[in-house]
Amino acid sequence: MHQTRDQILTSLSIVGLFVFLCWAKENATEYQVRLLNNCAIFITLAVSYNLINGICGQFSLEPNAFVAIGAYTSALLTMSPAEKQASFIIEPLIWPLNMISVPFWFSLIAAGLVTGFFAFLMGFPVFRVRGDYLAIVTLGFGEVVRVVANNLQSITNGPLGLKGLVPHTNLWWSFGLMMIALCFIWRLTNSSFGRAMKAIREDEVAAEAMGIRSFRYKMMAFTVSGFFEGIAGGLLAHLITTISPVLFTFFLTFNLLIIIVVGGLGSITGSVISSVLFVFGSEALRAVEEPFSLGSLQIPGIPGMRMVIFAIILVGVMIFARRGIMGRREFSWQGLIDLFQRAGGRLRRDG
């Protein structure tokens, strides 16, 4: 009974999103479309990152590496040979990458697969350690990928980066893939496999004692997370059309970490809500990086001021609401209805 109602409501909201996107495509400004695309990409990233950090409980700090691998893979596959020849001025691109140019969809799948494969390989060494050590090892891996991208001139074009990508990413691509990632990870989390991952998060020794192969499920979470982060990287590359190693510093990971902690570690809907807040919030906070005057005090524009504010928000969340917006709960229609009923009841009592 409730199940049918929830299914109808969910379908209706997906249709609503679809209608909204159709409308936005015609009427929204370029800036607004860009923000919406950013939203979808960050949701994909945050939800994938939450799978390994929040659901499986393995605190790791590598998404910047995965996004970078995905972005470079996809960009190198879509660029035309002429464009490549023009970009790689210091050292030419190695064969066969300099010859090929594939359709966008194919490059995204390749980005996902290559990144997933990297995640799989990386899982063997990193899951030999746990806890803080895991965080440090994965953080190191992220740095390694960035440094390699900086120096592997004949593949990544080094610090010059890749320029002149065709802006393939539009609302349909970003939101379509976001829906696929959400649906996949939601179903995985709410299956027996997701339960096994949660069991590892709760108590790895007990999970092992109940027959759960903990290494296998950590690898599974990590690889799936890498797969979708790679695809999101491909989308990001074709949204901003220019990629270089500075895009994929630890700041990217840090932003995603803020998103999933504020949203609630282990809550998929929490990550979605908090990604949206993050993308629009960082636009709203753009003002603090511009010069302004406080009374007689002239404050010059300080780039990076927004990061300070986000860091303060993170500290605030850690002190006052340790479990974030959603904790480990998920959004449910029943919960929303109850919320409205409570609010309505309060209004009636007060009135």
Partner 1 sequence: MTLFSAEHLTMIFGGLTAVDDFSIELKGEDLVGLIGPNGAGKTTVFNMMTGNFKPTRGKIFFQREETTGLKPNAINRRGIARTFQSIRLFQDLPVIENVMISYHGRLHSSFIGAVLRTPLYHREEKAMTDEAMTLLQRVRLADFASERAGALSYGQQRRLEIARALATHPKLLLLDEPAAGMNPQETQELMDLILKIKEDFNLTVLLIEHDMRVVMGICQRIKVLDYGATIAEGTPKEIQSNPQVITAYLGEAGGKGIA
What pairs with residue 298 in β-bridges?
Answer: 293
Measure the CA–CA gap between 156 and 91, rounded to whole angstroms. 10
Tell the smallest beta-carbon distance from residue 183 to partner 1 (Å): 9
Residues whose CB falls within 8 Å of the CB of residue 279, separated by 6 or more in sequence, listed in order: 35, 38, 39, 42
Q: Is residue 117 close enough to count as binding partner 1 by CB under 8 A? A: no
Q: Is residue 213 close enough to count as binding partner 1 by CB under 8 A? A: yes
Q: Is residue 321 close enough to count as binding partner 1 by CB under 8 A? A: no
Asked if 296 and 240 count as a contact pair (C-beta separation under 8 A), the reply is no
Q: Is residue 211 close enough to count as binding partner 1 by CB under 8 A? A: yes
Tell the smallest beta-carbon distance from residue 50 to partner 1 (Å): 15
Q: Is residue 55 close enough to count as binding partner 1 by CB under 8 A? A: no
Closest to partner 1 by CB, 3 or 296: 3
Q: CA torsion, points 170, 172, 177, 179, in degrees to nearest 10?
A: 140
- 156-164, 207-215, 291-299, 335-343 -> range binding partner 1 (CB under 8 A): 207-215
- 33-41, 137-145, 189-197, 246-254 -> range binding partner 1 (CB under 8 A): 189-197
Measure the CA–CA gap between 163 and 143, rounded to whole angstroms. 22
Phi/psi of residue 294, each to 5°?
-110, 100
Compute the chain's Rg from CA coordinates. Answer: 22
Q: Is residue 209 close enough to count as binding partner 1 by CB under 8 A? A: yes
Q: Is residue 130 close enough to count as binding partner 1 by CB under 8 A? A: no
Query: Count H helices, E strands: the chain?
Result: 15, 2
Tell the smallest beta-carbon distance from residue 174 to partner 1 (Å): 22
Asked if 248 and 37 count as a contact pair (C-beta separation under 8 A), the reply is no
Out of 196, 247, 258, 279, the only residue in the binding site for partner 1 (CB under 8 A) is 196
Measure the CA–CA gap between 41 and 252, rounded to whole angstroms. 13
Tell the smallest beta-carbon distance from residue 192 to partner 1 (Å): 5
Q: Is residue 311 close enough to count as binding partner 1 by CB under 8 A? A: no
Out of 328, 330, 331, 333, the only residue in the binding site for partner 1 (CB under 8 A) is 328
Burial grade of 235 (CB within 10 A; 0-12, 13-18, 19 or more): buried
Binders of partner 1 among residues 148 to 177 (CB under 8 A) are none
Out of 84, 198, 218, 238, the only residue in the binding site for partner 1 (CB under 8 A) is 198
Q: Is residue 210 close enough to count as binding partner 1 by CB under 8 A? A: yes
Binding site for partner 1 (CB under 8 A): 184, 187-188, 191-193, 195-196, 198-199, 202-203, 205-214, 220, 328
